[in-house]
Structure 1
Amino acid sequence: MTSFTLIREAYPSGFPVMSGIVGAIVGSFLGVVAERVPGMVMEEEGSSNLLFPASHCPVCKHPLAFWENIPLVSWLVLRGRCRQCRTAIPFRLFLIELFTALFFGVSAGFMPGEQGVFSLWLMASFLLPLALIDWQHQLLPDCLTQPLLWAGLLIHAFDNALPLRDALLGAVAGYLSLWLLYWAFRLATGREGLGYGDFKLLAALGAWCGWQALPVIVLVAALSGIVGYFSFNNLNKNNLSISFGPYLSFAGIAVLTAQQFGFII
């Protein structure tokens, strides 16, 4: 019996709550990643890094006090506005914290094993900011996709959940499948249908889930992408360029979760 199981049995209600609190804190940092990494990658003038400067209002530069930076609570207390200049705080930052808190809490309560829970948390901590960045900027930064790929390979190098050979083949097959699709589409139409970031993201998902799961990942991503495209297109009444990263991220989380429960090999 592992320490994870002991804690879960000792605190059947408290452990998911504690995990949710951890998730909210992680989500707060992921919001910073999603907001700052695009500027860092594109080397925008005046862009900051993940640690400096400290959290502040981007409009009036008011540095946030401790109580203004409490995940979930501060946004509600401040009613979604900066205390100094009353500029609206993006609602997406609140949603990131809320989603991560719920995801960590629910997975801690229902996932069957310690390794599965922490693998899922780690994967989601990369995929959430990647999905948000691609949604807003049509960008999947190497500084996130590459560590995600290496993390998947390293995890399978030290546990028996998936043979390392399957993880390696998954990374190679994931990259090559979209790379070949990209060139087939470009030669047929003269246009680019995918970005290189999509290749790298699917390679990372292949490293985490194995080559056997790639058809399911691509199918789930494609179907959810079609639904998302037409839904948002109808809402906005205009033609939207689709970012595939958010749907690949959703598919990766869904498939890894299904694998942990034994629904998918």
Structure 2
Amino acid sequence: MLTTLPFLLVYLMLSVLLVREDIRTGLLPDRYVCPLLWAGLLFQLCIHPSFLPSAVVGAMAGYLGFSAIYWGFRLVCHREGLGYGDVKYVAALGAWHGWCILPVLALVAALMALVYLLILSLCQPEKEPLKNPLPFGPFLAAAGLCVGWQSLINFPL
């Protein structure tokens, strides 16, 4: 039987690469997001096959839910409010953690981003942080680790 450690290392490595890219460029490249999604599904298939349906639904729900937010905002405001890389990243997190965790994950990521902006606006009021785009990938990664890590490490190493 395969152990979880190689999968968790892939999860962490790809998450770190995604955070780094999002902070540097404001993009979540497919070359990291797609392997993260497929590694999550493979992890569930190999390690916890009974959870695979929840992981597939999680990937679909994450993609469809954030895609609806992306397109809804774009249609109403005629500009992007969320990058499409974030949509795919939530799908990958859904593949790793399942559909049940996605609402909490999205809420925690949004609250982390809100606290960050609040602190930034208090420390640097002259820069007006609300007018600049905010990379959301780091907050999704942090929320994935905070909220979903428990479910991943419960599997036997």
Q: TM-score, normalised by structure 2?
A: 0.86
Q: Deviation of residue 161 (structure 1)? A: 6.7
In structure 1, what is the equivalent of residue 86 of structure 2? 198
Q: Could you say what secondary structure the match of 1:163 adopts?
A: helix
CA deviations on 1:191-223 (whole Å, 9 max, x unpaired) are 210111001100000000001111111011110
Q: Counterpart in 1 of 2:56?
A: 168
1:247 aligns to 2:129 (yes or no): no
The CA deviation at 1:228 is 1.3
* Mapping of residues 74-85 of structure 1, within 5 Å: none
Unaligned runs of 5+ in 1: 3-113
Query: 1:140 deviation in Å?
Result: 0.4
Unaligned stretches of 5+ in structure 2? none
Q: 1:191 & 1:203 partners in 2: Cα distance?
A: 22
Q: Which amino acid aligns with 2:138?
A: P
| Cα distance change on mapping 1:144 and 1:194 into 2, 3 Å | same
Percent of pairs with identical residues: 41
Q: Aligned residue for 2:149?
A: 257
Letter in 2 for 1:170: G
Change (3 A) 1:162 1:223: farther
> What CA deviation, in whole Å up to 9, does each residue of 1:8-66 have, x standing for no partner?
xxxxxxxxxxxxxxxxxxxxxxxxxxxxxxxxxxxxxxxxxxxxxxxxxxxxxxxxxxx
Residue in structure 2 matching 1:227, options 105, 110, 115: 115
Shift of 1:234: 3.3
Number of aligned residue pairs: 149
CA deviation profile, 1:143-166 (whole Å, cap 9, x unmatched):
000000000001111122751111
Report which of the two structures shows the higher radius of gyration computed on alpha carbons.
Answer: 1
Give the alignment partner of residue 124 of structure 1, picking from 12, 26, 32.
12
2-side partners of 1:187 and 1:169: how far apart?
Answer: 26
What aligned pairs does 1:131-210 form with structure 2 within 5 A after superposition? 131-160=19-48, 163-210=51-98
Alignment of 1:5-84 (within 5 A): none
SS of residue paired to 1:242: coil
Contact 2:14 2:32 in 1 (8 A): yes
What code does the residue aligned with 2:146 have? A
State the Cα RMSD in Å.
1.9
Q: Distance between the aligned counterparts of 1:235 and 1:150, measured in 2?
A: 40
Partner of residue 28, structure 1: none
Q: Quick one: distance in 1 between partners of 2:89 and 2:49?
A: 21
- Which amino acid is the alignment partner of residue 143 of structure 1? R
| Structure 2 residue corresponding to 1:214, chosen from 77, 89, 102 | 102
Q: Secondary structure at the match of 2:80?
A: coil
Paired letter, 1:135: I
> TM-score w.r.t. structure 1 length?
0.52
